[in-house]
Amino acid sequence: MLYKFKSQAAAEVIMLRDTGDELLKIIGKTPGATGIITVAQIPAAIAALQAEVKRREALPAPQPEDEKKDHAKAGDEPIALGRRVVPFIDLLRESAEAGKDVVWGV
């Protein structure tokens, strides 16, 4: 399943299910096929996402568990939340500025 986050104020943001589920949980929404982030909820959603990014950046970097990971390609490393969340936060900000809700699955 893919999440398509839409707003009348900005371009769609498409995410894989795992990433979408994670971001929705961070902002206090229940992951599912459809939903809405109202204009009134957007500031708190942005704040929650930014706080989680800062929290994760403050954690110590995980150490490789075995030699296989020492030789892993750079492309094998997971993309940090701070990078994955940027398009979503941009969508939220543009929507808030225009006074438009963000929906998914509609």
Q: Residue 9: inside a domain, yes or no?
A: yes
Classified as helix, coil or strand, 59 is: coil
Total number of domains constituting the chain:
1
Instruction: Tell whether 70 is covered by a domain.
Output: no
**Structural domain boundaries enclosing 87:** 2-59+77-104
Say whether 20 sits in a helix, a strand or coil: helix
Q: How many CB atoms lie within 10 A of CB 88?
A: 23
62 vs 50, more confident: 50
> 80 pLDDT band (50/70/90 cuts)?
confident
pLDDT of 59 reads 86
Residue 31 covered by a domain: yes
Instruction: Please give the average per-residue pLDDT across 36-57, as a whole number.
Output: 97
**Does 66 reside within a domain?**
no
Task: Give the tens place of pLDDT for each residue, 3-41.
Answer: 999 999 999 999 999 999 999 999 999 999 999 999 999
